[in-house]
Chains A and B, each alone.
Chain A
C-alpha cells in the first residue's frame, strides 16, 4: 500500500522569505502522480502543483516549485516570496496511474508571519 509522510507538523516563515515543505512517499508503482494541496482556514482544498512521475523536470507554478527525487521517493514543495495568504495546511498526495489509490499525507501547517 502507498504511504505519504510529511515530517514537519508545523512550520513558520517570514513574509517574503522562502520555505520548503518536505514529503516522502512509498510505492511500488513506476507511473504515478504527486500533488500538493493547500487548505486555508476556509477549508477549501486547492490544488497547488502537480508532478507526473515519468517527467524528470520539476514542476513549477509561479512562486511554487517542487524538488522531485524519484529514486529517493521525495517530493518537497518550495514556496518563494512567501505571502500572508500562503498561511494554510499543506497536504502532499499520491495518486496511482489508474486514478485510484489517492493517498494524503498528514499535512504541514504553515504560518507566514508579517
Chain B
C-alpha cells in the first residue's frame, strides 16, 4: 500500500530555532500533500496544502512566513517552522493523496515538536 514517511518523529529545541520537517511519499508520486496540526485530544487542523512546483495554499489564520512549505519534487514536501516559540509546540502530521481505485489520504507518523 501507499506509504508516507515523515521525519523526524520528535524534535526538542530551544526557542528561536527553526525546525524542518520532511514528508516523503515512498512508493507513489504526490502532486499535492497536506500539512496538519493536532492539539492534544483534538482533531486534525489543516494548515496548508502543498503543491508541487508552486506556492502552498494556506488556511485562514496560518502564518505563511512562520510555516514555510516547500514541495520541490513529486515525493517530498517540507514544513519549516521558523523562529519557533513554545506556542508552536504541537503534533504536526502530513498526508498525501492516492487517486484511482484505492483513493485515500495516507498519513505520515507525525512529528512531535517541543519548543523549550
Contacts and interface: CB of A to CB of B under 8 A. Distances in A.
B43 A99 contact: no
A99 B99 contact: yes
Contacts of B97: 99, 102
A82 B107 CA distance: 24
Residues of A in contact with B, size category: 20 to 34
A35 B43 contact: no
A45 interface: yes
Size class of the contact patch on chain B: 20 to 34
What DSSP secondary structure best describes chain B's contact surface? strand
Most chain A C-beta atoms within 10 Å of own C-beta, residue among B38, B43, B104, B110: B43
B7 to A, nearest CB: 14
A44 B104 CA distance: 15
A109 B49 CA distance: 27
A93 B110 CA distance: 18
B45 to A, nearest CB: 9
A105 B43 contact: yes
Interface of B: 32, 34, 38, 41-44, 46, 49, 91, 93, 95, 97, 99, 102-107, 109-110, 112
Interface of A: 33, 35, 37, 42-45, 47, 50, 52, 91, 93, 95, 99-100, 102, 104-107, 109
6 contacts: A35-B105, A43-B91, A99-B32, A99-B103, A102-B97, A109-B41
